């Protein structure tokens, strides 16, 4: 019976390589993949075959897409690499043979060394600083929830970016800390990132405000670590964004001077 | 530089490397997503999502487990298929209508990358498969149907479809082997 079941699972390798399994089957098969080295090899080979089908479809994307993606990249921190030995718990919703979730052949019990992927000091840019910060913040406790949230967030960010009028802007304070925004006036949406402001007491939060002429600041939400904040429902009269330090949980109105402010004119607001 | 090396640099936060990587993979990613998703606006949105996810998650790429390009395209395919399935679930008929309206205009505008030779080879190799192998593979990969849906559409038993998919892919490998 068990043999039959295994046999049955084996036959899912090709549909799996083609992404042609139902979600529940996909989960079941990926679970099986972790223990079946033969299936892994087969899935990897079949996936390479499937990818050949992808190559032949190559089409030049619209030029504006490049600008949007690169703008987004400037405003988006990276997710740190998982420590390999725990990878399987962290990436179950992506193909394990690609994401490296299964143990390597012949040394499945040996913990693998961490890969030398992080070279932040060689690329000491704002983005690299963000990566380092988020690395320490998230690496210790990377759960599936967080990955799902990160993915959902990528989607929201991508949605703002998909707007034809999406533009990016960054502001720096005197200490080199920065705020980045990608916004679309048409969508009334913005994706905001903070970088370098990690020296916050544990009972304080960074709160983002929308500043409009002759009106009270409107709260756009609280920053959680280095995670970008996605704001929606922005009116075109908005002139700037401001960040203040507030007690945990946030405040209805700012209780302190902004630590950084960014004019929105260059991203199509304030008209 | 090769995509594999670039991806490692990207994982370290190198934006220049990402720009170079974008040049290498955006055509295949966009082409594949467009082939599966069809709708132009949605294709662009999904492609952007994939490319951004590439930036965010570059650290998860493990060079020991396959090429960077196949990692990228597997990710793109997965996202495209997810999108087209949820769109189908949302309203099969509506989607088809939208595609019919948008399809030709979009195809007209789209510029094809000079992937001529590979494209030609894949076409030739697909032609050499049996009809059932070809349909099983392309309905799944290019149109985003599950093997159960493929079986339904072709009125074949599930087991047959699984075998045709597997044989189809292996035949493709044999045929394409020389031009990698």
Say if residue A176 is in the same domain as residue A244.
yes
Q: What is the pLDDT of residue B97?
A: 57
- Contact assessment for residue B43 and residue B91, using Cβ atoms and an 8 Å cutoff: no
Contact B169 A14 (CB under 8 A): yes
* Across A161-175, B50-64, B95-109, B118-132, least confident range: B95-109
Q: What is the pLDDT of residue B100?
A: 53
Average pLDDT, chain A: 71
Instruction: Indicate the number of domains in chain B.
Output: 2
Residue A208 lies in a domain: yes
Say if residue A149 is in the same domain as residue A177.
no
Give the bridge partners for A182, in sequence order: A168, A191
Does residue B117 surpass a pLDDT of 90?
Answer: no
Nearest CA in chain B to A10: B162
SS3 content of chain A, % helix, strand, coil (to 5): 40, 20, 45
Say if residue B19 is in the same domain as residue B92.
yes
The more confident residue out of A201 and B129 is: B129
Rounded Cα gap, residues A241 and B52, in angstroms: 24
| Top-confidence range, A176-180, A197-201, B55-59 | B55-59
Helix H segments across chain B?
3-11, 15-37, 40-57, 68-109, 116-128, 131-141, 147-154, 158-176
The more confident residue out of B77 and A228 is: B77
- Exposure letters B92-111 (e unless 16+ CB within 10 A, then b): eeebeebbeebeeebeeebe
Say if residue B109 is in the same domain as residue B119.
no
Strand pairing category for A59-60 and B111-112: antiparallel
Q: What is the pLDDT of residue A56?
A: 82
Chain B, 22 to 41: residues with Cβ < 8 Å from chain A are 22, 26-32, 34-35, 41
pLDDT band at A61 (very low <50, low <70, confident <90, very high): very high
Q: Domain containing B154 — which CATH number?
A: 1.10.10.10
Rounded Cα gap, residues A259 and B62, in angstroms: 40
pLDDT band at A14 (very low <50, low <70, confident <90, very high): very high
- Which of B113, B144, B163 is the endpoint of a domain? B113
Say if residue A124 is in the same domain as residue A205.
no
Mean pLDDT, rounded, for A248-270: 82
Range of the structural domain that residue B12 is part of: 1-113
Say if residue B70 is in the same domain as residue B154.
no
Residue A97 lies in a domain: no
* Closest by Cβ to A158, choosing from B45, B123, B168: B45
The more confident residue out of A240 and A22 is: A22
The more confident residue out of A16 and A74 is: A16
Rounded Cα gap, residues A184 and A171, in angstroms: 17
- Which of B78, B113, B148 is the endpoint of a domain? B113
Residue A96 lies in a domain: no
Contact A68 B55 (CB under 8 A): no
Q: What is the pLDDT of residue B22?
A: 96
Mean pLDDT, rounded, for B72-89: 92
Q: What is the pLDDT of residue A125?
A: 33
- Which of B94, B113, B132 is the endpoint of a domain? B113
Say if residue B71 is in the same domain as residue B132.
no
Instruction: Indicate the number of domains in chain A.
Output: 3
Rounded Cα gap, residues A97 and B4, in angstroms: 16
Q: What is the pLDDT of residue A58?
A: 87
* Closest by Cβ to A14, choosing from B31, B119, B165: B165
CA angle A219, A160, A230 (to 5 degrees): 30
pLDDT band at A7 (very low <50, low <70, confident <90, very high): low
The more confident residue out of A84 and A245 is: A245
The more confident residue out of A8 and A53 is: A53
| Cα atoms found within 13 Å of the Cα of residue A41, Cβ hemisphere only | 4
Average pLDDT, chain B: 84
Residue A49 lies in a domain: yes
Contact B26 A65 (CB under 8 A): yes
- Contact assessment for residue A240 and residue A261, using Cβ atoms and an 8 Å cutoff: yes
Q: What is the pLDDT of residue B123?
A: 86
Does residue B108 surpass a pLDDT of 80?
Answer: no
Question: What ipTM was predicted for this assembly?
Answer: 0.86
Angle, to 10 degrees, between the axis of helix B15-37 and the axis of helix B40-57? 140
Say if residue A115 is in the same domain as residue A29.
no
Judge whether B116 is closer than 8 Å to chain A, CB to CB: no
Residue A233 lies in a domain: yes
pLDDT tens for A95-150 read 444 443 333 333 333 333 333 332 222 222 333 333 333 333 333 334 555 556 66
The more confident residue out of A117 and A31 is: A31
Say if residue A78 is in the same domain as residue A154.
yes
Mean pLDDT, rounded, for B25-48: 93
Rounded Cα gap, residues A254 and A245, in angstroms: 8
The more confident residue out of B6 and A3 is: B6
Element (H, E) at A52: helix A37-55
Residue A135 lies in a domain: yes
Does residue A221 surpass a pLDDT of 70?
Answer: yes
Say if residue B121 is in the same domain as residue B179.
yes
pTM of the model: 0.60
* Closest by Cβ to B59, choosing from A22, A74, A79: A79
Q: What is the pLDDT of residue A88?
A: 40
Does residue A187 surpass a pLDDT of 90?
Answer: no
Contact A70 B18 (CB under 8 A): yes
Residue A186 lies in a domain: yes
Say if residue A75 is in the same domain as residue A40.
no
pLDDT tens for B46-65 read 999 999 999 999 988 887 77
- Exposure letters A84-114 (e unless 16+ CB within 10 A, then b): beebbebbbbbbbbbbbbbbeeeeeeeeeee
Say if residue B106 is in the same domain as residue B153.
no
Q: What is the pLDDT of residue A271?
A: 60
The more confident residue out of B36 and A119 is: B36
Q: What is the pLDDT of residue A142?
A: 45
Say if residue B65 is in the same domain as residue B92.
yes
Range of the structural domain that residue A21 is part of: 2-55
Say if residue B71 is in the same domain as residue B6.
yes
Q: What is the pLDDT of residue B115?
A: 52
Best A43, A45, A49, A57 residue to mutate vs chain B (most B CBs within 10 Å) = A57
Say if residue B68 is in the same domain as residue B109.
yes
Beta strands in A35-188 (DSSP E): 59-60, 167-172, 178-184
Report phi then psi at B14, rounded to 5. Answer: -85, 105
Say if residue A143 is in the same domain as residue A174.
no
Contact B32 A82 (CB under 8 A): no
Say if residue B78 is in the same domain as residue B52.
yes
List of chain A residues whose C-beta atoms are within 8 Å of the C-beta of residue B141: 18-20, 50, 53
Rounded Cα gap, residues B176 and B128, in angstroms: 11
pLDDT band at A153 (very low <50, low <70, confident <90, very high): low
Q: What is the pLDDT of residue B92?
A: 62
């Amino acid at each position: 019976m068990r043999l039959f079941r295994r046999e049955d699972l084996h036959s899912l390798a090709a549909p799996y390589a083609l992404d042609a399994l139902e979600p529940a089957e996909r989960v079941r098969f990926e679970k099986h993949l972790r223990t079946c080295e033969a299936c892994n090899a087969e899935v990897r080979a079949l996936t390479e075959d499937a990818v050949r089908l992808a190559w032949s479809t190559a089409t030049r994307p619209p030029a504006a897409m490049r600008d949007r993606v690169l703008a987004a990249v400037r405003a988006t921190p990276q997710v740190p690499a998982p420590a390999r030995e725990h990878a399987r718990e962290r990436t179950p919703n992506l193909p394990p043979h690609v994401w490296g979730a299964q143990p390597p052949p012949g040394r499945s019990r040996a913990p693998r060394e961490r890969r030398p992927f992080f070279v932040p000091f060689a690329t000491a840019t704002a983005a690299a600083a963000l990566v380092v910060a988020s690395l320490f913040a998230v690496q210790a406790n990377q759960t599936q929830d967080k990955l799902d949230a990160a993915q959902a967030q990528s989607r929201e960010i991508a949605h703002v970016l998909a707007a034809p009028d999406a533009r990016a802007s960054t502001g720096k304070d005197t200490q080199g800390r920065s705020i980045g925004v990608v916004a679309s006036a048409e969508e009334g949406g913005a994706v905001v990132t903070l970088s370098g402001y990690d020296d916050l007491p544990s009972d304080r939060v960074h709160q983002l405000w929308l500043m409009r002429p002759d009106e009270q600041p409107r709260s756009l939400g609280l920053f959680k670590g280095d995670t970008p904040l996605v704001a929606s429902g922005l009116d075109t009269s908005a002139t700037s964004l401001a960040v203040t330090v507030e007690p945990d949980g946030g405040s209805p109105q700012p209780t302190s001077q902004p630590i950084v402010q960014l004019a929105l004119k260059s991203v199509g607001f304030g008209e | 530089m090769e995509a594999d090396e670039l991806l490692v640099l990207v994982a370290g936060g190198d934006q220049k490397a990402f720009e170079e990587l974008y040049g290498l993979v955006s055509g295949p990613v966009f082409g594949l997503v467009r082939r599966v998703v069809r709708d132009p606006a949605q294709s662009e949105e999904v492609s952007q999502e994939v490319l951004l996810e590439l930036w965010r998650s570059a650290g998860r790429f493990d060079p020991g487990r396959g090429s960077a390009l196949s990692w990228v395209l597997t990710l793109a395919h997965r996202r495209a298929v997810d999108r087209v399935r949820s769109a189908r679930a949302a309203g099969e008929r509506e989607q088809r209508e939208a595609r019919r309206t948008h399809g030709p205009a979009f195809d007209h505008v789209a510029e094809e990358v000079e992937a001529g030779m590979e494209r030609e080879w894949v076409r030739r190799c697909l032609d050499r498969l049996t009809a059932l192998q070809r349909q099983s593979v392309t309905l799944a990969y290019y149109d985003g149907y599950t093997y159960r849906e493929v079986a339904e559409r072709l009125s074949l038993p599930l087991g047959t479809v699984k075998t045709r998919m597997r044989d189809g892919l292996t035949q493709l490998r044999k045929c394409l082997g020389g031009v990698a």
